[in-house]
Amino acid sequence: MYAIVGLGNIGNGYKNTYHNIGFMAVDKLAEELKIKFDTEKCKSLLGFGYIGDEEVVLVKPTTYMNLSGNAVDEVMRKYKIKKHHIIVVLDDIDLDRGKLRYRASGSGGTHRGLKNIIEVIGSNDIPRLRIGVGKDERMDLKDYVVSKIDPYAMQEIEPAICQGIEIIKQKIIEGTVLSNDIQIKKQ
């Protein structure tokens, strides 16, 4: 079983914000696979289904971003998921808007949610797909990540979300291990 964990914050105030890109990606994947988030367990909203022949659980932690590790740890334990079968999807302010980066391991960088997962799990060998959201130098970083995504920015981010979903499906279906650092420019 694989767990695809979208990072974000629960609540309408955070909907369509840069920090909720992970939620948006797993929502889009759920829609494509006709998976419903109909289970609330392990400090998360969960949806179960298949990608190819592999069973997957889509995870949206309800712990808020900076405590995501608690939810991921509970999901791993309850469903006996190995750390290399977790794929974390998150926003990245250090990547230009619309770029993607997949890594099989590494540090949490500047992302507190990913840092918390690494800390709680006790390993940085957790695959992650970062979706670039850039940053606005005129805004405080905390304000920027929880600001609403304007339609122009969404036009740049949406293709990256779709391409990211394809990368996740390919990894799960084909069992391919992507190179440790892959950057994909928007088309």
Q: Which residues are catalytic?
A: 19
Residues whose CB is less than 8 angstroms from the CB of residue 130 and which lie 6 or more positions away in sequence, other chains included:
90, 91, 92, 95, 100, 101, 102, 103, 111
DSSP state of 147: S
Burial class (CB in 10 A: 0-12, 13-18, 19+), 34: exposed
Which residue's entry shows tokens 């920015």? Answer: 153
- Using only the alpha carbons of the chain, give its radius of gyration: 15
138: which 2 tokens? Answer: 């005129």
What backbone torsions phi and psi does residue 155 show, to the nearest 5 degrees? -65, -30
